[in-house]
Homo-oligomer: A and B are copies of this chain.
């Protein structure tokens, strides 16, 4: 079983390479809980439970948005969690509008799988 540090480093590398969906498919637990900020302007729910629902939400997001210039700071490991600080440019595919975006992401790992993903931004 890979260590928390190995998972954190691999996950961070995959996100930095833009392989967000592959990272999710590889590491998300079947019962993952994905939290978005309460004040998120997305129409999606603030909490999605379960890998299939969470992957479906991620796929919808990736269909509507393109990421570029992804910079990942971390992983920073504390207890059973790791955190990333992510900077990127997001292009809304429908409008072509680009914006800079920064977020803190925390991941809780159990049995070598990510059981909770939580994004912080505002």
Contacts of A77 in B (CB 8 A): 37-39, 120, 122
* Size bin of chain A's contact surface: 20 to 34
Question: Is A36 on the interface with B (CB-CB < 8 A)?
Answer: yes
Chief secondary structure at chain A's binding surface: strand
B120 A47 Cβ-Cβ under 8 A:
no
**Complex interface bits, A62-96 against B, C-beta within 8 A gives 1, otherwise 0:** 00000000000011111101110100000000000
Contacts A46-B79, A104-B83; is A120 near B74 (CB within 8 Å)?
yes
Question: Which of A46, A81, A83, A118 has the most B CB atoms < 10 Å from its CB?
Answer: A83
Contacts of A122 in B (CB 8 A): 74-77
A111 to B26, CA, bound (A): 36
Q: Which residues of A contact B (CB under 8 A)?
A: 35-39, 46-47, 74-79, 81-83, 85, 104, 106, 118-122
